[in-house]
Amino acid sequence: MFAYFKKYLAERITLNEQDYSLIESVSVIKKLRKRQYLLQEGDVWRFNAFVCEGFLRTYFVDDKGVEHIMNFAIENHWSGDRESLTSEQPSKYNIDALEDSVIVLIKKNDFDMLCKAIPVFNDFVNNILQKRFVVMQERIHANITFSAEEKYHNFISKFPSIANRVPQHMIASYLGISAETISRIRKHALQK
């Protein structure tokens, strides 16, 4: 199972066998059934999580009991709650599996150790952080600029691999619009 993570790394950075051994020594494989929680609101999140296979979602529940999706993470992407991780405070979020999944967990301290021990790994991680930043910025851009229709079309063109793996109402939740509106937007688009 660690092979997934190793492959991911090998395709992106150059590490020697010693590095891989070190990484593997602190990696914990976890399998999740569909609907199973990885993190529940109120718990402290203490890991970095790499998705080998499957599909996770991060969401929170508002005062009215409505779920809002903060993030999706498909295979070869990272999940977790960075806020809880750094503050060491209970998380506001839930993370669960939308499909059966296999993930690699690395404890915060171990992860920091890896970053110190393997400079290339550190640079790589920082690079991912930068990219994540840009993605969030673009999401904010879309949020404050686009109509519901534009938000939807922007999303499916930008994240087709997510869009055709989740039910529509989750896309709606991610975008902050109602499921019915998405349905109507699609109907509209078909009529052309």
Partner DNA sequence: CGATTCTTTGAAAACAGTCAATCTGTGTGG
Partner DNA sequence: CCACACAGATTGACTGTTTTCAAAGAATCG
Q: Which does 182 bind (CB under 5 to 8 A by kind): DNA, a second copy, none?
A: DNA
Phi, psi of 47 (to 5 degrees): -130, 170
Q: Which does 167 bind (CB under 5 to 8 A by kind): a second copy, DNA, none?
A: DNA
The region of 3-11, 23-31, 84-92, 171-179 touching DNA under the rule CB under 7 A is 171-179
Residue 44 makes contact with a second copy by CB under 8 A: no
Residue 142 makes contact with DNA by CB under 7 A: no
Q: Give CA 112 to chain center in angstroms.
A: 20
How far is the C-alpha of 96 from the C-alpha of 180, rounded, in Å?
Answer: 24
Residue 157 makes contact with a second copy by CB under 8 A: no
Residue 57 makes contact with a second copy by CB under 8 A: no
Residue 178 makes contact with DNA by CB under 7 A: yes
Residue 175 makes contact with a second copy by CB under 8 A: yes
Kindly tell me which of 24 and 41 has the beta carbon lying closer to a second copy: 41
Question: Among 92, 112, 180, 189, which residue interacts with DNA (rule: CB under 7 A)?
Answer: 180
**Counting every residue, how long is the chain?**
192
* x-or-dash string of contact with a second copy, 96-135, rule CB under 8 A: ------------------------------x--xx-xxx-
Please report the sign of the dihedral spanned by the C-alpha atoms of residue 14, residue 158, residue 54, residue 30: positive
Kindly tell me which of 6 and 186 has the beta carbon lying closer to DNA: 186
Kindly list the residues in this chain that would bind a second copy in the complex (CB under 8 A): 60, 62, 68, 70, 82-83, 86-87, 126, 129-130, 132-134, 136-137, 139-141, 143-145, 173-176
Which residues here bind DNA, judged by CB under 7 A? 147-149, 167-169, 176-184, 186-187
